[in-house]
């Protein structure tokens, strides 16, 4: 077991499975008898509002929230939400980001312009070069369900090698948190995300 600490920011919008991913990470850490502290911030709407979770795993954790500039990893379920989390990054932070946007009402009505994916990536590169961009929606669909985007990004996080959690414990925790009939699809999405994000 690797006892080192890891601070993870998980961001997206309501309905993408951010909270489930957070719960799986926390419970997998507890399986390994690691300390874990989770802090969640929900947007105004259950679906469509911003959701951010701070996941702190390791030993001697005294604060539930991650300080700006000190996150080890960002899981970005949505590009704009990933931009919102950049204040927590530093030059060593690993970002795994879903490339598919969820267009907010303010953009669809013409009040605001949604930036291009390249613009989002360039903004991220101002903070860290360690960026993995995945079409997690497409990967999840190919695995059997577009709802498994969170598992694709969990696989991408596993591929970084940063998690102080044995992969088997993570997989077992996924099995326990997902309805039985969707376990195969979710594990397939996890594996596909891990393979897609593996260093070339």
Question: For the chain, what's the residue count?
Answer: 200
Per residue in 111-152, pLDDT (tens digit) is 577 899 999 999 999 999 999 999 999 999 999 999 999 999
pLDDT at 50: 85
pTM above 0.85, yes or no: yes
Closest CA to 21 of 51, 63, 66, 47: 51
Q: Give the pLDDT confidence of 76-113 residue by residue, as tens digits.
A: 999 999 999 999 999 999 999 999 998 765 555 665 77
pLDDT, averaged across the chain = 90
Locus of tokens 């259950």:
46
Closest CA to 161 of 189, 191, 194: 194
Does 67 score more than 70 pLDDT? Answer: yes
Domains of the chain (ranges; CATH) run: 6-197 (3.40.920.10)
| Share of residues in the chain with pLDDT > 70 (%) | 91
How far apart are the C-alpha atoms of 155 and 169, rounded to whole Å? 13
3-state helix, strand, coil in the chain (%, to 5): 45, 20, 40
**H or E segment to which residue 10 belongs:** strand 6-13
Strand partners, 7: 56
What DSSP element (H or E) covers 134?
strand 131-134
The number of angstroms, rounded, from the C-alpha of 100 to the middle of its chain's C-alpha atoms is 14
The pLDDT > 90 percentage for the chain reads: 76
The residues that bridge with 41 in the sheet, in sequence order, are 52
Query: According to the model, what pLDDT value does residue 35 have?
Result: 92
Check residue 45 and give its pLDDT: 46
């Amino acid at each position: 077991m690797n006892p080192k600490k890891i601070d993870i920011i998980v961001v997206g919008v309501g309905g993408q499975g951010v909270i489930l991913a957070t719960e799986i990470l926390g419970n997998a850490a507890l399986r390994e008898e690691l300390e874990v502290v989770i802090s969640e911030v929900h947007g105004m709407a259950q679906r469509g509002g911003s959701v951010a979770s701070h996941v702190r795993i390791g030993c001697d954790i005294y604060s539930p929230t991650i300080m700006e500039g000190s996150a080890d990893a960002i899981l970005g379920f949505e590009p704009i939400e990933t931009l919102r989390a950049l204040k927590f990054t530093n030059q060593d932070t690993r970002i795994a980001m879903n490339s598919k946007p969820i267009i907010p009402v303010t953009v669809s009505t013409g009040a605001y312009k949604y930036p291009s994916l390249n613009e989002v990536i360039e903004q991220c590169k101002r903070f860290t070069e360690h960026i993995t961009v995945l079409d997690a929606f497409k990967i999840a669909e190919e695995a059997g369900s577009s709802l498994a985007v969170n598992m694709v990004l969990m696989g991408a996080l596993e591929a970084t090698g940063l998690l102080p959690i044995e992969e088997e414990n993570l997989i077992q925790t996924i099995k326990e948190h997902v309805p039985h009939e969707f376990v195969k699809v979710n594990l397939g999405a996890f594996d596909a995300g891990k393979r897609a994000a593996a260093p070339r």
